[in-house]
Amino acid sequence: MALSSGISDPETEPVLSKEARLGEVEHQTLALLRERAREEGFDALVALSQDNVTYTAGFLVPSHATNRFRRTITVIAGDRFACQIVVSVEEKQAIARSRFTDIRSYDQFNDNPADMLADALIEAGCENGKIAIELDFMPAIDFIQLKKRLPNAEFVECKELYFRARMIKTDEEVRIIRKIGLLTERVMYDTLSEIRVGMTELDVARRLVDRMIEGGSVNFKYRVGSGINSSITNCGTTNKKIEAGDIIRVEVLGDYDNYRSNVTRTCVVGKPTDRQKEIWDKLIRAREICKTMLRPGVRVPELYRAFVASCRGSGIEPTLKFLGHGIGQTIHEEPYITETRNIVLEPNITFTMEPLYMIPGEMGFHVEDMYVITRDGFDAITGNISDNSELIEVG
């Protein structure tokens, strides 16, 4: 089946040899992270998770996503030190594709990557320093060894540093996020038009899968919930047959060039009931109020409070304790649009808003679209192809 998404030919960073990159100015992402670490008083910044290492190095080490026994680590320290540690089988890939010019490999069966990390930090002069590191991700056995090697170092969690660095996207990141958002919405629009009574949730999912793959997205996830299954927030996709009158929730979490999309549509088989229309109108009214507030300088708790106030004023209580979330290399990242995040919106912040209301054991309502803050307001990345301001009638 043909799609006119314009995303079939991925554009990636050119692959350069290590030698070709040696004379270049440090990549803006490395320079940004180095500056953030310096501002917060850290002597070194260490990443170990798939999303933060990929963000830092500019490419995903293939086995990082599939083999939990292999470590991939990035280290930025002082004014100049930077290296990436990879398992030996991935060394050539890293040399060819990483933003780091100093690639250090270890033998998975004979070397301890925690020792290699300790050696790098000592070389960088940080053995007695304050080191920002992913304590929420690093295996305990590795941290024990690192502490043994660097007993005088202070180790501090760096989750917030990375979240805030990643929150404001570059123009190139926004371009990629737009691409996967556009593909995801187009696929959902085409698939919803084919839903018929008697199909199963898995039948719908197969159409989503085929179209996403054809469009160039491979590592994506999806949810299709109909009838009572639509009332489960994170529903599975089953062999349940679609029936007349069913509410159907379809969510696709796309992936393209290591960036994500998150789009949800709610439809009804046939005509919606008055009750269904009333609930939906209340959710959309609350969302539209929030959209009028989207501009630089607005604090995210203000958005959340406006959403909750509108919902409660119309007699429904939001199911989630947040209205939306940032989106980038992971589905959920800052800014979370909730009461507890005192974050100010800035240009090039990408995020979703997802009004959601569940009636357990009966049906659920959920719409999710992607947005980017601009210099004078916002732009809707999705919501232009498959408008869900009213329940979508299918079947």
For the chain, the structural domain boundaries read: 18-166, 168-394
Neighbours of 205 (CB within 10 A): 18
Give the span between the Cα atoms of 351 and 335, in whole angstroms: 7
Token digits for 38? 């310096």
**Dihedral (CA of 198, 200, 205, 207) sign:** negative
Contact 94, 84 (CB under 8 A): yes
pLDDT (0 to 100) of residue 18: 44
What per-residue confidence (pLDDT) applies to 168?
Answer: 96
> In this structure, how many other beta carbons lie within 10 angstroms of the beta carbon of residue 45?
27
Nearest to 286 by CA among 389, 392, 393, 181: 389
CATH entry 3.90.230.10 includes domain 168-394:
yes
Q: How many residues does the chain have?
A: 395
CATH superfamily of 18-166: Creatinase/prolidase N-terminal domain (3.40.350.10)
Q: Take residue 181 and report the two structure tokens written for it.
A: 């958002």
Cis preceding linkage at 335, omega within 30: yes
Which letter does DSSP use for residue 223 in this model? E
Separation CA 293–CA 377 (nearest Å): 8
Specify the pLDDT at position 24.
Answer: 62
Phi, psi of 128 (to 5 degrees): -115, 15
pLDDT of residue 1: 28
pLDDT attached to residue 380: 98
pLDDT tens string, the chain, 395 residues long: the values are 223 333 333 334 444 444 444 446 899 999 999 999 999 999 999 999 999 999 999 999 999 989 999 999 999 999 999 999 999 999 999 999 999 999 999 999 999 999 999 999 999 999 999 999 999 999 999 999 999 999 999 999 999 999 999 999 999 999 999 999 999 999 999 999 999 999 999 999 999 999 999 999 999 999 999 999 999 999 999 999 999 999 999 999 999 999 999 999 999 999 999 999 999 999 999 999 999 999 999 999 999 999 999 999 999 999 999 999 999 999 999 999 999 999 999 999 999 999 999 999 999 999 999 999 999 999 999 999 999 999 999 99
R_g of the chain computed on alpha carbons = 23
Task: Mention every residue, 6+ apart, whose C-beta is less than 8 A from residue 295.
Answer: 345, 373, 376, 377, 378
- In terms of C-beta distances under 8 Å and separation of at least 24 residues, what long-range contacts does 101-110 make, across chains too? 101/18, 101/21, 101/22, 103/18, 106/71, 108/69, 108/70
